[in-house]
Structure 1
Amino acid sequence: MTPRTTALAFLGHLAEGAPDRAAALLAPDAVMTFPGGATFRDLAELAAWSAPRYARIAKRIERAEESAGAVYVSGTLEGAWPDGTPFSGIRFIDRFEVADGLILRQEVWNDMAEHRP
């Protein structure tokens, strides 16, 4: 797999509710950094952190590009806040570093804080 297809497969597995398949694409020392500087080393930690933030979430991917050894995936988020109120159109960009078919680093930026009720 190319770095681009690895990053897209990872996001696809998460969207499908297949965290074990997504985890198989993470390097043993992978680091995932989310808005506010929250850093995770496994998907269970990420899920626990995310649980009180929204009831459900999905990414509508608009672009995925490789550049200078990194993969950039951008688009919008849609889903529901914890109270069930829907949201959509929230911008995001994920930056991945991939080597030997495994994700070494994921950095996530989005505008959720600007839209949170």
Structure 2
Amino acid sequence: MSIEVRRHDNRSRGQSSAVSLRPEAAGRSQPQEFDARLLQSIRQARQRTSAGNVRAGGAERARLSNATLFDLSRSQEVLAYIVREVLPGLDLDEDIRNLTASMLNDEIESRRDLQQRLMQAQSS
């Protein structure tokens, strides 16, 4: 079986078309337009972010300076809450639920061990 492909072009050379006959012209303008739009969207995003930071800057600094945010005991409480309250309410298979609970409990234990070692190091 053989297929013959022929180009059937009824347009005359003088007829205008939506496609440029000079591919290099289109190749130059499209990336420039894309870059310009990209820069514009980045600038707009930065302006929105900086405007929001002016209002929330003080609260954010206060929250980040709070040492209890990174406290190991707090993370243990959060993980225990997830195991006790969140995990049972999820629509999971029993095996997956048990595996997840086991992994989270192991993480709680490792954080307890780390906290104890840190306390011992600080006391000595």
Question: TM-score if structure 1 supplies the norm length?
Answer: 0.18
Q: More relative contact order in 1 or in 2 (CA 8 Å, sep 6+)?
A: 1
| Higher share in strand | 1
Question: TM-score if structure 2 supplies the norm length?
Answer: 0.18
| Higher share in helix | 2
